[in-house]
């Protein structure tokens, strides 16, 4: 089996790795300790493909998009924004070769569209398809069982309606299927496709009469909660894992310099609404943190205060216990870990004559929570009803599997410019 196929085979079995990680988490790990005693404590979810940025515009702006001006890709970022779209309708197709540092046949394809229904509402839909390429399954002796092409897909439908002339609310419903093994037994356990139903809720405040000094522009402030849905498993022998539920809060300001030059500045803050792994002792008892054996809503609420923090240890490196046998946590370390779970995305976009766009951005994730840190850059071209966006990811660390990721998006305006006048809902 080739190196690429071997790597992907490991990815295919990620759910078995999850179970191993949960077992190993019962021992306190000092291998990745930092100077303040913090340790690597990343959060894992099922179906992570649902969170991959699909479009090249946001992909060139540091993966920011919660409050950006509306496009057909807004169904992923903030459906509520579609009520303030400049065009009545749009359809787009995006393609992303994925993990090209590891292999050459994994890719993400994305098709999305929207149309406005008068001045008060809009409907939208999208299809996401993630292919893991060709993989050869073998048995314990190395004999080939069969070749397969594991894949995942997601179907999303959304509706947005205005609350007032400056505020809008959006709601998405989605169905996701993750078929990673084709039903083949793995490590002696039977497997099946993971299936999920989920929802997104979104809100936007949009002011197109905003002024910064004497410069006019558009200001937007948005928030979304994404992928609220059932826990997923790929085998009855394993526990179920949460979807990548997340909260995003974003803002953007589009500055109109003159009739030919526009700048947009955007910022997103995001956080997974999934339990943080607790710290266990050798017997499996929780030393610090909280159990993840909770329901979906409880998990979302728990995620704001369940970080285990840093445990106080004696000179021998053993965890110190109080008189009641409970572990002692370093002061303020829980709050610090919660703050480390906030991801930051920021980007800038320049348009010349609504024809040529130049974009750049930066994404930051703490090194103890995933360590995704990279710059993005890209361009956009628009002529008549057709637009093309291209983005490129520049990793800050060598051998980063996301390095040199490119995204391509082709957009089509299929409706005339919206002439709807703002309608205030009392």
Residues 373-397 have pLDDT tens digits of 999 999 999 998 999 999 999 988 8
**Whether residue 409 has pLDDT greater than 60:** yes
Digit-coded pLDDT (tens) for 123-136: 999 999 999 888 77
**Whether residue 293 has pLDDT greater than 50:** yes
d(Cα 207, Cα 415) in Å, to the nearest integer?
23
pTM score, whole prediction: 0.86
What's the pLDDT at 285? 86
**Whether residue 19 has pLDDT greater than 50:** no
What's the pLDDT at 418? 55
Nearest Cα neighbor of 130 from 156, 152, 105 is 152
Q: Which domains does the chain have, with CATH numbers?
A: 3-413 (2.40.160.40)
The residue that leads in pLDDT, 284 or 261, is: 261
**Whether residue 282 has pLDDT greater than 90:** no
What's the pLDDT at 424? 42
What's the pLDDT at 137? 74
**Whether residue 420 has pLDDT greater than 60:** no
SS3 string, the chain, reads CCHHHHHHHHHHCHHHHHHHHHHHCCCCCCCCCCCCCCCCCCCCCCCHHHHCCCCHHHHCCCCCCCCCCCCCCHHHHCHHHHHHCCECEEEEEEEEECCCCCCCCCEEEEEEEEEEECCCEEEEEEEEEEECCCEEEECCCCCEEEEECCEEEEEEEEEEEECCCCEEEEEEEEEEEEECCCCCCECCECCCCEEEEEEEEEEEEEEEEEEECCEEEEEEEEEEEEEEECCECCCCCCCCECCCCEEEEEEEEEEECCCCEEEEEEEEEEEECCCCCCEECCCCCEEECCCCCCCHHHHHHHCCCCCCCCECECCCCCECECCCCCECECCCHHHHHHHHCCEEEEEEEEEECCCEEEEEEEEECCCCCCCCEEEEEEEEEEECCEEEEEEEEEECCCCCCCCCCEEEEEEEECCCECCCCCCCCC
> pLDDT > 70: what percent of the chain?
87
**Whether residue 426 has pLDDT greater than 80:** no
**Whether residue 9 has pLDDT greater than 60:** no
**Whether residue 16 has pLDDT greater than 70:** no
d(Cα 327, Cα 249) in Å, to the nearest integer?
35
Q: Which of 7-16, 71-80, 169-178, 403-412 has the lowest mean pLDDT?
A: 7-16
d(Cα 279, Cα 288) in Å, to the nearest integer?
5
User: Per-residue confidence at 303, pLDDT binned at 50, 70, 90?
Assistant: very high
- Please compute the mean of the pLDDT values over residues 408-414 and round it to a whole number: 94
What's the pLDDT at 323? 72
User: Per-residue confidence at 26, pLDDT binned at 50, 70, 90?
Assistant: very low
**Whether residue 88 has pLDDT greater than 70:** yes
**Whether residue 43 has pLDDT greater than 60:** yes
- Please compute the mean of the pLDDT values over residues 240-260 and round it to a whole number: 94
What's the pLDDT at 34? 56
């Amino acid at each position: 089996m080739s190196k690429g196929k071997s790597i992907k085979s490991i990815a295919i079995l990620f759910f078995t790795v999850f179970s191993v990680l949960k077992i190993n988490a019962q021992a306190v790990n000092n291998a990745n300790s930092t100077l303040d005693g913090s340790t690597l404590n990343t959060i894992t979810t099922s179906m992570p493909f649902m969170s991959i940025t699909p479009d090249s515009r946001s992909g060139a702006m540091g993966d920011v998009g919660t409050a950006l001006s509306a496009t057909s890709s807004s169904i992923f970022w903030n459906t509520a924004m579609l009520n303030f779209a400049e065009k009545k309708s749009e359809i787009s197709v995006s393609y992303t070769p994925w993990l090209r540092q590891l292999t050459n046949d994994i890719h993400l394809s994305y098709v999305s569209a929207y149309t406005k229904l008068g001045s008060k509402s809009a409907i939208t839909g999208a299809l996401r398809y993630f292919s893991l390429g060709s993989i050869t399954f073998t048995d314990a002796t190395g004999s080939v069982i069969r070749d397969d092409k594991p894949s995942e897909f997601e179907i999303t439908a959304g509706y947005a309606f205005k609350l007032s002339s400056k505020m809008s609310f959006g709601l998405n419903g989605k169905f996701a299927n993750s078929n990673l093994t084709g039903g083949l037994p793995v490590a002696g356990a039977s497997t099946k496709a993971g299936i999920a139903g989920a929802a997104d809720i979104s809100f936007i405040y949009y002011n197109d009469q905003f002024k910064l000094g004497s410069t006019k522009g558009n200001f937007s402030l948005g928030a979304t909660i994404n992928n609220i849905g059932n826990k997923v498993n790929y085998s009855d022998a394993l526990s179920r894992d949460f979807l990548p539920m997340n909260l995003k809060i974003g803002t953007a300001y589009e500055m109109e310099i003159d009739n030919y030059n526009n700048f947009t500045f955007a910022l997103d803050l995001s956080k997974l609404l999934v339990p943080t792994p607790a710290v266990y002792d050798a017997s499996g008892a929780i030393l610090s943190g909280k159990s993840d054996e909770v329901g979906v809503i409880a998990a979302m609420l728990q995620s704001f205060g369940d970080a285990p923090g840093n445990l106080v240890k004696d000179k021998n490196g053993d965890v110190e216990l109080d008189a009641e046998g409970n572990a002692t946590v370093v002061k303020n370390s829980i709050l610090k870990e919660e703050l480390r779970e906030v991801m930051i995305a920021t980007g800038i976009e320049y348009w010349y004559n609504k024809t040529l766009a130049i974009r750049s951005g930066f994404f930051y994730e703490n090194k103890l929570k995933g360590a995704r840190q990279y710059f993005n850059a890209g361009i956009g071209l628009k002529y008549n009803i057709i637009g093309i966006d291209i983005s490129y990811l520049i990793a800050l660390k060598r051998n980063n599997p996301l390095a040199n990721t490119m995204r391509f998006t082709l957009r089509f305006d299929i409706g005339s410019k919206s002439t709807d006048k703002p309608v205030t809902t009392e």
